Amino acid sequence: MTFRNFKMVDYVVYGRGAFNQLNEILAPQRKDDAPMIFFVDHYFENDAAFLARIPLLGKDKVVYIDVTHEPKTTYVDALRDDLKDEFGTISGIIGIGGGSVMDMTKAVSLMMTNPGSSADYQGWDLVKFPGVYKAGIPTISGTGAEVSRTTVLTGPVRKLGMNSDFTPFDQILLDPELCKTVPVNQRFYTAMDCFIHCVESLTGTYLNAFSKAYGEKAQDMCEEIFLHRSDWDEESDEKLMMASYAGGMSIAYSQVGVAHAVSYGLSYVLGTKHGIGNCIVFDKLEEFYPEGVAKFKEMVKLHNIEIPQGITKGLTDADFEKMIDVSLGLVPLWENALGKNWQEQMSRERLRKLYEQF
């Protein structure tokens, strides 16, 4: 098809305190005594007050997701095996956390019903069967993973998602109250994932009016929050959650660009997390995104954020080569950013020089 027929998330509930409706929302999705599995960001492991709010019934189980590293296909497969061993079948998986937890939830849901390893499905439209019921409840805003049709996974040979019509959530629950304890730096890095999405998408060659409308609104909201004010309140959390949602939707008919392509290489070799990796990279991309980078630098300054420097110092040639391989493999991102003849513009040498700046 010329234009992608975009599969939407089935149900969206948005509201401060909407988390209290979770039990009611899950009730019709429970199948006999098959449990609901709650994938919870390990950040909440000692937050007894929050954990007590998870509506556990019968054999339901909380599984803490270690998000120290970006999600790996081996981790997805291991969790799937554990759940199959322990329960046979489950009613569904509810992800509560950031982008990594969203992606782990989508991936394990799909792997409960699709044979083999999740690495077999890294790519476009390789998934064969719908997964088990899956719901996403973000506790930090920016990645857009709550509405995307992918799951970003690091596999044995590539960092690439399971892109398919079966990938989007059946349900998302957007409760800005859940974001109130996010540390300031982390909040900024993750929010900038959204801002950078928008800059890359709005300046890209793939753009159409659908993605433009969502991208402009998401970028406007990021700027309202981070550029036009230095304090933070409930309304900021509410707006940022919508910016994340709109930023995710804007990817439907567009693509990310240079920052994401370069940051994936960094993350593959150094394990740099996605949000902070994007910030490290975007900070040096004036030549590609002059206006966006200028705004970014202003936001960094206004919010006293520290962008790590010198992280590629001392890397070997082999490390750089690997980063360059991973990055240049992301053809649609480069094509969106630089056009059909992107290869003439982005040589291995130029990319190496860029990586050496971080």
Q: Indicate the residue type of 26.
A: L
Cβ-contact 262, 155 below 8 angstroms: no
How far, in Å, CA of 38 to CA of 55, rounded?
10
Considering only 5-13, 197-205, 260-268, 341-349, which stretch makes contact with a second copy by CB under 8 A?
5-13
Supply the minimum distance, in Å, between the C-beta of residue 23 and a second copy: 11
Tokens (6 digits) for 60: 């339901």
Q: Which of 94, 102, 137, 252 binds a second copy (CB under 8 A)?
A: 252
Supply the minimum distance, in Å, between the C-beta of residue 8 and a second copy: 5
Which residues make Cβ contacts (< 8 Å) with residue 98, sequence separation at least 6? Answer: 41, 67, 138, 139, 140, 143, 190
Between 64 and 124, name the residue whose CB sits nearer to a second copy.
124
Between 3 and 115, name the residue whose CB sits nearer to a second copy.
3
Supply the minimum distance, in Å, between the C-beta of residue 224 and a second copy: 10
The terminus-to-terminus CA distance of the chain in angstroms comes to 39
Between 65 and 243, name the residue whose CB sits nearer to a second copy.
243
Cβ-contact 75, 104 below 8 angstroms: yes
Supply the minimum distance, in Å, between the C-beta of residue 225 and a second copy: 12
Q: Does 24 bind a second copy (CB under 8 A)?
A: yes
Residues between 225 and 244 with contacts to a second copy, criterion CB under 8 A: 235, 238-239, 241-243
Site string for a second copy, 209-228 (x = CB under 8 A): xx-xx--xx---x-------
- C-alpha closest to that of 237 among 306, 169, 139, 307: 139
Supply the minimum distance, in Å, between the C-beta of residue 173 and a second copy: 8
Please tell me the number of Cα atoms within 13 Å of 163 on its side-chain side: 10
Phi, psi of 28 (to 5 degrees): -70, -10
Q: Does 171 bind a second copy (CB under 8 A)?
A: yes
Q: In DSSP terms, which residues pair with 133 in a beta bridge?
A: 92
349: left (phi over 0), alpha (psi -120 to 50) or beta: alpha
Residues between 174 and 203 with contacts to a second copy, criterion CB under 8 A: 174, 176
Residues binding a second copy (CB under 8 A)? 1-18, 20-21, 24-25, 171, 174, 176, 208-210, 212-213, 216-217, 221, 235, 238-239, 241-243, 245-246, 252-253
